[in-house]
Structure 1
């Protein structure tokens, strides 16, 4: 039942919101994973990021997609929490989790990958300023190294911080980019992961159609 409800929710609510409400430029869509285990690692500027990434996946596999999402937003009230946990299937992450909470989230992520699911994770850890990428955390490296040949697919999104500005609940139609990179595997260590991802994000940002001179890049 949960699988059917998720498919219906994405098909009739998420996809219309994303593809009708936004002017979305999807670049290198062929790089979007079609099966797991895999981690989709995207920059994070808006609470729309999770829904946009979810909308990109074909309905046939959307039940396999598990976003790791901020608990303070997606569990903000009973209705949103029920939708987030039971329909979208998020793995909730608190901003300053205790060691036991971090371990619980990590265990759930490991379990999802072991079941061949697709994780959506934001390596910055929290939303940054629009179009400015914060420092990349090393958590994804420690997660995927425990799963043989589990790739990381980098994604750069641009414009969503303006479509849903931070601190507001007002949705503003805006032209946005989603650039999907080639999957990457076999990082040498955590530092190599950070440097490689930073370089890849900078390269992907050059493909953004909405890029204009003088603006910050991820």
Structure 2
């Protein structure tokens, strides 16, 4: 993404470097208002979040609210990787000034490098590795989360977000205020390169290992909370995530 890029005819806010740590200082309070004033959010597993060092929060993706709900629930500040074409207009200003990272899900090494820079300084990144809003079962995840884990040494904390979309609600729906949401942080996972295999194989295996951990964590969270994942709305693939 370059200065002058546009979405819907409007200019996008882009990054020239990793966002500074101080920008996240007001995003978490806003997330907490969302979690505990607008909605009723039960948070569990905070003890699984490392108190220091780089962390990748990898969450399932149900609705527009997943990122800010996760930010408000976590015990550490984080920079969330967000779909790049949301970085326009007032929302783009909010995302930019709160230190979020725009990413083109078709492939964006620049965004991954900015996220790695954040991790290299010992801070945290939030990522929704399913890429698009769906049923949130982590049946598929992209390789970006594995690339970050392998190249930064950061711990990966699986996050189950439940209730931001339920039943047959459409993917672009926003839950009504006071709904009960759940955010469950799982035990951290450390990923290392495998000796004796190619980088591609190591990446593929790391991606699948993270996917299995996240999928299992989500399954356990639904059982523990009683909050089920939404139904598949069967949208054509070209509309998914829109």
TM value normalised by structure 1 = 0.78
Query: Among 164, 170, 188, which residue is 1:160 paired with?
Result: 164
Asked if the contact 1:35/1:118 (under 8 Å) is kept, the reply is no
Partners of 1:212 and 1:69 lie apart in 2 by 25
Q: 1:39·1:151 contact (CA, 8 Å) conserved in 2?
A: yes
Structure 1: unaligned runs, 5 residues or longer: none
Counterparts in 2 of 1:199 and 1:7: CA distance versus 1, 3 Å: same
Q: Please tell me whether the aligned partners of residues 103 and 111 of structure 2 are also in contact (alpha carbons under 8 angstroms).
A: yes
Aligned residues: 201
Give CA deviations for 1:157-183 in whole Å, capped at 9, x if unaligned: 111124995224564432222121111
Q: Contact 2:40–2:179 at 8 Å: present in 1 too?
A: yes
CA distance in 1, matches of 2:112, 2:215: 28
Instruction: Determine whether 1:139 maps to 2:144.
Output: yes
TM-score by length of 2: 0.71
Match of 1:94 in 2: 104
**What SS does the aligned partner of 1:207 have?**
helix
- Name structure 2 gaps, 5 residues minimum: 1-19, 195-201, 233-242
Number of the residue aligned with 1:24? 41
CA RMSD between the two structures: 2.9
Is the counterpart of residue 105 in structure 1 residue 111 in structure 2? yes
What's the secondary structure of 2:165's corresponding residue?
helix
Q: Deviations over 1:41-93 (max 9, x none)?
A: 111111111111111234xx52xx110111223x1x4221111111x201101
Runs (4+) off by over 4 Å: 2-6, 212-216
- The structure with the largest helix share of the pair is 1
